[in-house]
């Protein structure tokens, strides 16, 4: 995929994500996962068609249980984003990349998920460029005063998850892979 590297992350343009959603890369990937890291009310207000809602670092659990990595050549493309792709989406990107590298210390550079990306400009940019590829066709801002309590709860939950879930807990993820 056409991408750039920003802050150590592979970043792709909204146009490329639109092409992924529209199946233009279907022969290149067996599975395309768009991971939406926004809060529930943001996701419910509108999201990229087919996106999975994973607002916390439980992303490894979701990826391992719902889409277990395989070693048989399956090509998986993972795209993370949040509202602007400046905090929550990149945090999940870094968590998955760190976990994947730790799992493959013995055989680096092999990875379960070699092709992971962050959506440049986040959902906000994608929605304004491609509203027809959003379900429902809406955009709910994180800082909307009507969702102040939900936002506060989401921020507290994310903070608690970061504290309690260490990327050094590789044993838990290995067990998930075996189950």
Q: Tell me how far CA of residue 39 lies from CA of 12, 69, 81, 177, in angstroms.
A: 22, 26, 12, 27
The SS3 call for residue 162 is helix
Torsions phi, psi for 166 (to 5 deg): -90, 140
Catalytic residue among 77, 82, 107, 134: 82
Active-site annotation holds for 7 = no
Q: Are 60 and 96 in contact (CB under 8 A)?
A: yes
Torsions phi, psi for 100 (to 5 deg): -60, -40
Q: Are 125 and 16 in contact (CB under 8 A)?
A: no
Q: How far apart are CA 120 and CA 3, in angstroms?
A: 10
Torsions phi, psi for 119 (to 5 deg): -75, 115
Closest by CA position to 144, among listed 124, 118, 122, 121? 124
Query: Active-site positions?
Result: 82
């Amino acid at each position: 995929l056409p991408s750039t590297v920003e802050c150590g992350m592979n970043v792709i343009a909204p146009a490329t994500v639109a092409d992924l959603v529209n199946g233009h890369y279907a022969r290149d990937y067996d599975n395309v996962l768009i991971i939406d890291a926004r809060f529930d009310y943001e996701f419910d207000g509108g999201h990229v068609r087919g996106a999975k809602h994973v607002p916390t670092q439980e992303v490894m659990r979701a990826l391992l249980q719902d889409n277990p990595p395989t070693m048989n050549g399956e090509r998986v493309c993972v795209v993370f984003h949040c509202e602007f792709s400046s905090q929550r989406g990149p945090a999940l990107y870094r968590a998955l990349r760190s976990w994947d590298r730790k799992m493959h210390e013995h055989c680096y550079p092999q990875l379960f998920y070699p092709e992971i990306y962050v959506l440049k400009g986040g959902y906000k940019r994608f929605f304004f460029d491609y509203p027809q590829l959003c379900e429902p066709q809406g955009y709910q801002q994180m800082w909307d005063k009507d969702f102040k309590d939900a936002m506060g709860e989401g921020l507290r939950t994310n903070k608690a998850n970061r504290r309690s879930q260490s990327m050094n807990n590789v044993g838990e993820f290995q067990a998930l892979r075996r189950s």
